[in-house]
Structure 1
Amino acid sequence: MERRTFFKSAGLAAVSLAGLGSGHLFAKPAKKPNIVFFLIDDLGWTDLSCFGSEYYETPHIDALCKRGMKFTDAYAACPVCSPTRASIMSGKYPARLNTTDWFGAPQPYNVQRHWTRNKPLLPAQYKERLPLEEKTMAEAFDENGYNTYFLGKWHLGPEGFWPEDQGFDVNVGGGHSGNPGSYFAPYTKVNDLPAPKGEYLPERLRKEAAELVHKDQKGNPFLLYFSMYSVHTPLQTKQVLKKKYKEKKKNMGISNEWITQSGRRVRGVQEHEVYAGMIEAMDNSVGKVVEALKQEGLYEDTVFVFMSDNGGLSTSEGRPTCNLPLKCGKGWMYEGGIREPMFVVWPGVTKPGSVCDYPVTSTDFYPTLLDIAGLPLQPRQHVDGVSFAPLLKGEKKLDRKAIFWHYPHYGNQGGSPSSAVRCGDYKLIEWFESGKLELFNLKEDIGEKNDLADKMPGKVKELHKMLVDWRKEVDAKMPMPNPRHKG
């Protein structure tokens, strides 16, 4: 018997025994909820209508968000993709896993062939795979009787480290690549997804997701992890959508506006018609899955999670979106790079239309979803995650002092090696090139315009010690001086 099949059978047996022990000898155990996790790629904090966009249209996501709790202070564990994705699957900070950059980024031993070769620092060496020794969230659900489905972007290691090796029964399109190469078939970088020429990838993946929902589950609940390639580059959409948003921009009287943030030219308003079309296609994918669940009578038995893996792309590669009022975007330690649009729908528990401003982060999903499903927690695994199920039930805070980030690399988008900590309303960033420490009060200054470091040296000292102590605890790898640099 295969390992996953054995554990699934054992999990079902345990559920049945739990029912026997309850005093209801012939009672059927309560059905576990289905979990549908939508992870979007490069979606900015204000890229949804329900998070403030007036140009992009996301009616299906907006309707789903209204059924649950919107989190205004939700964070990715890293300003780039692979580390955040690893944190969701493992419940650990990227610094603890040593998966601190997107898989494929330069290592210190091959940086001489990269544009960063003459920078002041050499990036820290990192692991380019999610280790198989980690018990993933998918494995935890799989072992407890869930059918586990993965669709879309994986980007957590080479072959042998793909979704089917990490606890998923089904893998549709997940492989080593961080982007599809093209959103129109043939998809040059999407693993094992043959398609007729010209097929549009978001439409294909949402069709595949709906078919998995319609599949006979044989009485088992399921975890459907829909990790979209959208809205990552390349910037491509269907012509009908591009035309729609070009006309909408004209009707709204929107014109190009540019501002400067941290020395980078960024859009001052959302108005990129191709990007808007990609967002609508992504929204339609969410709608297709919701429709399939309704058709199967599963809508009210399903918990929904919606999240992005890092901030919106605003400082390079076409600069397609605007993250204002946040500063910068993907690849940066400022809020635009790490604060994400997130909501959770837990039918019968979360108050529809509720809003939570307590900070949570991507390591928290692992224990939270186990908690919601009534499955055993894995405290030795999700050591950096805290279940935020109490927040979903209406409580106001969690037992956690701070959230940490560590990105000892240069980002393609202009960010540089740094660490950060948020404790309460205050956030401290340490920039490794200069040693500069920046302090912001996010409650009063969400745009991080006013550095309080000189005015509040005591708070700087307190948070910096917290950050240094945390780096020691997780054995965070640090960048080193670059001998090639002539400063």
Structure 2
Amino acid sequence: MKRILLCIGFLFFIGCVNKEQKIVLNPNVLFILVDDLGYHDLGFSGSTFYETPNVDSLAKESVWFKNGYAASRVCSPSRASILTGKFAARHGITDWIGAKAGDEWRIRNRHDKLLPADYIKALPKEDITIAEAFKNKGYVTFFAGKWHLGNKGSYPEDHGFDINKGGFHRGSPSGGFFAPFKNPKLKDKNAGENLTIRLAEETANFISQKKEKPFFAYLSFYAVHAPIQTTETKWNKYSDKAENYGIAKTGFKIERVLPIRQVQDNPIYGGLVETMDDAVGIVLKSLKENDLDKNTIVVFTSDNGGVASGDNYATSNLPLRGGKGYQWEGGIKEPFLIKVPWLGTNNKTSDFPVIHTDFYPTLLDLSNISLYPEQHIDGISLKSIIEGKKINIERPLYWHYPHYGNQGGEPSSIIQQNGWKLIHYWEDNREELFKLPSTENDEMNVISEHPELASKLSNQLLSWLKKVNAKYPKKDSLFDKDKRDLRLQNLKTKKLESLEKNRLKVLSKDFQPNKNWWKSKITKD
């Protein structure tokens, strides 16, 4: 009886462990979201070039969902889906906020066949975010880093976060990765300080200060998004590593529209990834030093695939095809870790297909908080899997991207179910069918071999889109095929040539981006 009363008395202050039933009441939650990190950008998931010892250690203590997916191929839709538990077509944020749509798309001079669909440009106020769900149960809620879900009036503090360090409307670091940051929500401390490390330190300080109450901390790195930047020391390390491995003669090939990176050998990106890992280490160390590592759930994931085309062409996602912005596996398959110490998640893996919308009900369930089934309608709780049980659910996963990606992706929608993935392209209504995981690189379209299955999945996809009132791209009446073809030809010749030259330049011994290495070195100039 005394034990029960003790647990109740501290219900909103500390996690109370019931060892017999392996239950922690009111556990803390640390959610780590990396921007643009690819599935194979980590040591535990297969990279031999990037070094990520802290995340690799976390993976050993977690359930690794090997078939973990982002809710979108670009950032804002995925971030909205994590916070709301809804697929992009349902919440309406289907592109990164700020992207041109409709007639404005012509400003880009891309000469595409379609005008991208319009989309919602702020996180809907009527949604109950996961932060609000935790706050309603007495949790202190904290946000650090990239938001990109609306302008003033739709910042983290407007959607359930008590504290906001660095979250505003911009999707990339305004001042780069070294101070001054030019961030209205994060005051500069020291010139040249690193943004990724600073966000980790803010999170660690929050943990130390608020450890007497349960907390929901959401660390949303701006890294490893462009502009990719690192220190001279880390560049030297990865430049030497690339040379020791043997520098490939070519680093790119042509995908359908853009060149795409084929090798992981960019020393700038390598340093950026390692700094992200250093930052993860700071926060995990804080949990341990404050004796909170045993009653804190830790999540680690990314918002979309690694950038292999477009932006800085920073990484390769092989053997997965594509990357950020693409409709194939490289664009949506993600690192997906959940650590629950009291459930013995060490070195566990699961092949069950999971997606960003599952975090909302899973974290509530693990925290013994009543679910919001009408809110996180497109997610399911993964608690049973984490406990080592099997769940017999055959559910479809849906993606809707009625836009052109900056990275070469095409307007398309996807349904994935029972190991099959069908992609519907909106330019001409053609479709592709893939069997996963045997053709996970999306090179083997088997639609001609399974016409009935393809038709069934197609009808299911289109019916669902209609049900959720999805928006679609429209034909551009001013479309000029000759201009489009000329643009594509230039991408396949001039762009490819310039990328290969820049790749070797970045790997050369005399490489220096500027005198102060993106402000990481304080100079007198």
Partner AA of 2:279 in structure 1: S
The alignment partner of 1:138 has SS state of helix
**Contact in 1 for aligned 2:295/2:342 (Cα 8 Å):** no
Identity %: 41
Distance 2:191 2:463 in 1: 54
Aligned residue in 1 for 2:341 = 347
Partner AA of 2:269 in structure 1: Y
Aligned residue in 1 for 2:227 = 234
Distance 2:145 2:11 in 1: 36
Distance 2:275 2:429 in 1: 43
After TM superposition, give the deviation of residue 262 of structure 1 in Å: 2.6
After TM superposition, give the deviation of residue 94 of structure 1 in Å: 1.0
Aligned residue in 2 for 1:43 = 37
Q: How does 1:317-396 map to 2 (within 5 A)?
A: 317-396=311-390
The alignment partner of 2:335 has SS state of strand
Residue 243 (str. 1) matches residue 246 (str. 2): no
After TM superposition, give the deviation of residue 486 of structure 1 in Å: 3.3
Residue 186 (str. 1) matches residue 180 (str. 2): yes
Q: 1:114 to 1:263 in 2, by over 3 A?
A: closer
Q: 1:173 to 1:394 in 2, by over 3 A?
A: same
Q: 1:14 to 1:366 in 2, by over 3 A?
A: farther
**Contact in 2 for aligned 1:427/1:439 (Cα 8 Å):** yes
Aligned residue in 1 for 2:398 = 404
Aligned residue in 1 for 2:501 = none
After TM superposition, give the deviation of residue 348 of structure 1 in Å: 2.2
**Contact in 2 for aligned 1:71/1:356 (Cα 8 Å):** yes
Distance 1:136 1:14 in 2: 26
Distance 1:351 1:204 in 2: 29
After TM superposition, give the deviation of residue 15 of structure 1 in Å: 8.5
Distance 1:67 1:372 in 2: 16
The one of 458, 465, 473 aligned to 1:464: 458
After TM superposition, give the deviation of residue 424 of structure 1 in Å: 1.1
Q: 1:350 to 1:75 in 2, by over 3 A?
A: farther
The alignment partner of 1:110 has SS state of helix
The alignment partner of 1:171 has SS state of strand
Aligned residue in 1 for 2:105 = 111
The one of 245, 249, 256 aligned to 1:252: 245
**Contact in 1 for aligned 2:25/2:367 (Cα 8 Å):** no
Partner AA of 1:42 in structure 2: D
Partner AA of 2:72 in structure 1: C
Larger CA deviation: 103-112 vs 378-387: 103-112
Q: 1:289 to 1:36 in 2, by over 3 A?
A: same
Residue 177 (str. 1) matches residue 170 (str. 2): yes
Aligned residue in 1 for 2:68 = 74
Aligned residue in 2 for 1:132 = 125
Distance 2:414 2:8 in 1: 42
Partner AA of 1:319 in structure 2: Y
The one of 292, 302, 305 aligned to 2:299: 305
Aligned residue in 2 for 1:282 = 276
After TM superposition, give the deviation of residue 427 of structure 1 in Å: 0.3
Q: How does 1:19-58 map to 2 (within 5 A)?
A: 31-58=25-52
Aligned residue in 1 for 2:200 = 206
Partner AA of 2:297 in structure 1: V
After TM superposition, give the deviation of residue 400 of structure 1 in Å: 4.1
**Contact in 2 for aligned 1:80/1:102 (Cα 8 Å):** yes
The one of 409, 415, 418 aligned to 2:409: 415
The alignment partner of 2:341 has SS state of coil
Larger CA deviation: 414-423 vs 253-262: 253-262
After TM superposition, give the deviation of residue 483 of structure 1 in Å: 1.4
The one of 118, 143, 151 aligned to 2:136: 143
Distance 1:327 1:382 in 2: 30
Aligned residue in 2 for 1:4 = none
1:451-475: per-residue Cα shift (whole Å, max 9, x none)? 0111110111011011011101111
Aligned residue in 2 for 1:22 = none
Distance 2:344 2:288 in 1: 19
**Contact in 2 for aligned 1:388/1:398 (Cα 8 Å):** no
Distance 1:390 1:350 in 2: 13
The alignment partner of 1:348 has SS state of helix
Distance 2:24 2:9 in 1: 9
What is the TM-score when the length of structure 1 is the normalising length?
0.92
Partner AA of 2:179 in structure 1: A
Distance 2:171 2:309 in 1: 19
Aligned residue in 1 for 2:92 = 98
Larger CA deviation: 476-485 vs 273-282: 476-485
4+ residue runs over 6 A deviation: 13-18
Distance 1:51 1:190 in 2: 36
1:344-397: per-residue Cα shift (whole Å, max 9, x none)? 111121431111111001111110100010001001111111111111111233
What is the TM-score when the length of structure 2 is the normalising length?
0.85
Distance 2:424 2:231 in 1: 42
**Contact in 1 for aligned 2:30/2:296 (Cα 8 Å):** yes
**Contact in 2 for aligned 1:177/1:189 (Cα 8 Å):** no
Task: Could you tell me which runs of 5 or more consecutive residues in structure 2 were left unpaired when the two chains were aligned.
Answer: 1-6, 13-22, 482-525
Aligned residue in 1 for 2:442 = 448
**Contact in 2 for aligned 1:405/1:420 (Cα 8 Å):** yes
After TM superposition, give the deviation of residue 271 of structure 1 in Å: 0.6
**Contact in 2 for aligned 1:46/1:53 (Cα 8 Å):** yes
After TM superposition, give the deviation of residue 169 of structure 1 in Å: 0.7
Distance 1:352 1:235 in 2: 33
After TM superposition, give the deviation of residue 195 of structure 1 in Å: 3.5
After TM superposition, give the deviation of residue 250 of structure 1 in Å: 1.6
1:198-235: per-residue Cα shift (whole Å, max 9, x none)? 22111211111111111144x32111100000000001
Distance 2:437 2:299 in 1: 25
Root-mean-square deviation over aligned CA pairs: 1.8
Distance 1:168 1:199 in 2: 25
The one of 81, 84, 88 aligned to 2:82: 88
Task: Could you tell me which runs of 5 or more consecutive residues in structure 1 were left unpaired when the two chains were aligned.
Answer: 1-12, 19-28
Distance 2:101 2:437 in 1: 37
Aligned residue in 2 for 1:10 = none
Partner AA of 1:79 in structure 2: R
Distance 1:409 1:15 in 2: 52
Partner AA of 1:253 in structure 2: G
Distance 1:473 1:188 in 2: 42
Distance 1:410 1:257 in 2: 24
Aligned residue in 1 for 2:152 = 159
Partner AA of 1:320 in structure 2: A
Distance 1:179 1:418 in 2: 25
After TM superposition, give the deviation of residue 109 of structure 1 in Å: 4.1
